Amino acid sequence: MSRVLGGALAGVDGVPVEVEVRLSAQLPRVDIVGLPEAAVRESAARVRSAIASIGHVFPDRRVTVNLAPAGIRKSSAGLDLPIAVGILAASGALGAEALAGLGLVGELALDGRLRPVRGALPQVLALHAAGCQRIMAPVASGPEVALAPGAPVELAASLSQVVEALVEDRTLPRAERLPPPPAGRLAPDLGVVRGQQAAKRAIEVSAAGGHGLLMRGAPGAGKTLLSRALPGLLPPLQPGEALEVTRIWSAAGLLDPAEPLALERPFRAPHHSATRAGLLGGGTPARPGEVSLAHHGVLFLDELPEFERRALESLRQVLEDGQVVLSRAGLRMAFPARFQLVAAANPCKCGWFRSGVRDCRCDEGALARYDARLSGPLLDRIDVHVHVRPVPFRELSEKSGGEGSAAVAARIAGARERQAQRLARIAPGLRSNAAIPVDVLDEAVAAGSEARALLGRAVQRLGMSARAAHRTMRVARTLADLAGEDAVGAPHMAEAISFRREG
């Protein structure tokens, strides 16, 4: 028998897998047990061909491969390499001492070459956590696995290099991080947007506190352009956040080999035809959806009422919990999904209701049906609502659109720094006002008596729910941070209340 550690994926998390190989004097056959998916069951053919291609003889006996723990489905082709090494060790080509503390990740080609695997980074992280002192991975996965903190990862181009290194007790070249790419934002500059001062203010407040934002307005008013300018206002990812985002994108197979580390916050803009599974994640094997790919970034939903109703309603719990929990028969896994929701919508089906430019062609029934596509509970979870009106031509023809993204981003950075210092004392681990928990909300907001009285009158007159009142308090806290003030005053609360009323 032989034992060696490999890795598999469970959602976006890596799972260490113990590969046990036993040879027995029975009719030649390869049995792989332990809930292997099709990609793992087919590894027998790849492993047999790869071993023969490097000059070794595949055992002419019954080969039983057990993948433990048996209760987790294994779907990663990255188990090819540990299975091949385990078979060679069981047949005597490798000594058992060479496998002590060894972790292997890699897919085999028929000629023995090592191919990169999806989710190499989370699998290497799992092997580190399992106590592996030596980890080997494909050369093509080098820039990605170099991001894993812990022991260096050795890189091999083929099965023969792995076997030679183990036989000769020789160290292979180690993975090294690529230099960071030159700084540069691809987001449009806020200064190119003419007019829209109210919408720009809403964008600034949303970015400063991590609040959800809904912009309604006529077609061509600038809703999409404003939304795409938002990532240029957000602060860069912290090191821990960057590793989380990279791990998720690695599990989804979307990492760029030339720039594996995520340095800027994700911006995901799925089409309105996206299904519920496309937004939340799922499939076999389960992969992260758009909400998880937008983790620590922005999820932009253009034409919000055109999305499938079930898909939109599924976002309600995700916005509250910051994660997606998928429960299927024999499967339960959690995908992180703490994102900033930004949405754009037309005011009606024809798009010209209350535009002041054209007459709306929708009757009252059509207006009611269009509004009914967005449920009250979903709208209640969006902190900032703003109406975007068409810009007159005299403003469009101006040479400048006002402040650029750099000046606005500097104010936002200052507000975020004040939030971080406050939350470090009150709620460690949180970085934005939008995530302040209810049990410490009063202490974090520090609203004056006049501001509280104003909020109380607004709750009664506007029929605000308790959730809406709490979210209004968080927005008021962000407005005070932008103004550099410690206490929330009546002007901050009044402006926050105005964001709860569309138009």
Residues 6+ apart with CB under 8 A from 184: none
Amino acid in position 384: V
Query: If you average pLDDT over residues 115-140, what whole number do you get?
Result: 93
Nearest partner of 499 among 471, 480, 463, judged by Cα: 471
What's the confidence (pLDDT) of residue 136?
96
Q: How far is CA 264 from the centre of its chain?
A: 12
Pairing of strands 323-328, 331-336: antiparallel
Instruction: Convert the pLDDT of each residue in 414-449 to its tens digit.
Output: 999 999 999 988 888 888 899 899 999 999 998 999
- Determine the 3-state secondary structure of 350 from DSSP: coil
The Cα–Cα gap between 359 and 470 comes to 37
pLDDT (0 to 100) of residue 429: 80
Other beta carbons within 10 Å of 241: 17
Mean pLDDT value across the chain:
89
Read off the pLDDT of each residue in 167-178 and give the average, rounded to a whole number.
91
Q: Is the separation of the CB atoms in 117 and 152 below 8 Å?
A: no
The model's confidence at residue 501, banded by pLDDT at 50, 70 and 90, is low
- Is residue 102 scored above 60 in pLDDT? yes
pTM of the model as a whole: 0.88
Q: Cβ(11)–Cβ(288) under 8 Å?
A: yes
Task: Report the chain's C-alpha Rg in angstroms.
Answer: 27
Q: Which two tokens stand for residue 451?
A: 């501001």
Q: For residues 130 and 119, what is the distance between their CA atoms, to the nearest angstrom?
A: 17
CA distance 409 to 234: 7
CA 62 vs. chain centroid, Å, equals 44
Q: Rounded to the nearest 10 degrees, what angle do helices 43-53 and 80-90 cross at?
A: 60
- Output DSSP code: residue 468: H
pLDDT for the residue 358: 84
Pull the structure tokens for residue 348.
């009606």
Model pLDDT for residues 325-339, shown as the tens digit of each residue: 887 766 778 899 999
Alpha-carbon distance 198 to 215, whole Å? 11
| pLDDT at residue 191, as a whole number | 80
Query: Nearest to residue 106, comparing CAs of 31, 19, 176, 12?
Result: 19
Query: Region 104-127: what's the mean pLDDT?
Result: 94
- The one-letter code for the residue type at 151 is A
Q: How far apart are CA 345 and CA 219, in angstroms?
A: 9
- pLDDT per residue as tens digits for the range 223-281: 898 999 998 899 888 888 999 999 999 999 888 877 888 888 999 999 999 999 999 98
pLDDT of residue 107: 95
pLDDT band at 184, cuts 50/70/90?
low
Exposure of 243 in the CB half-sphere (CA atoms within 13 A)? 12
Helix (H) or strand (E) holding 462, with range, is helix 449-462
Measured distance CA(288)–CA(270) in Å, rounded: 14
What is the SS3 string spanning 214-267? EEEECCCCCHHHHHHHHHHHCCCCCHHHHHHHHHHHHHHCCCECCECCCCCCCE
pLDDT tier for residue 401 given thresholds of 50, 70 and 90: low
**Is the omega angle on the peptide bond into residue 181 within 30 degrees of 0, that is, cis?**
no
* Percentage of residues in the chain having pLDDT higher than 90: 59
Among the ranges given (388-392, 434-438, 449-453), the one the predictor scored with the smallest mean pLDDT: 388-392
Q: What is the mean pLDDT of residues 297-308?
A: 94
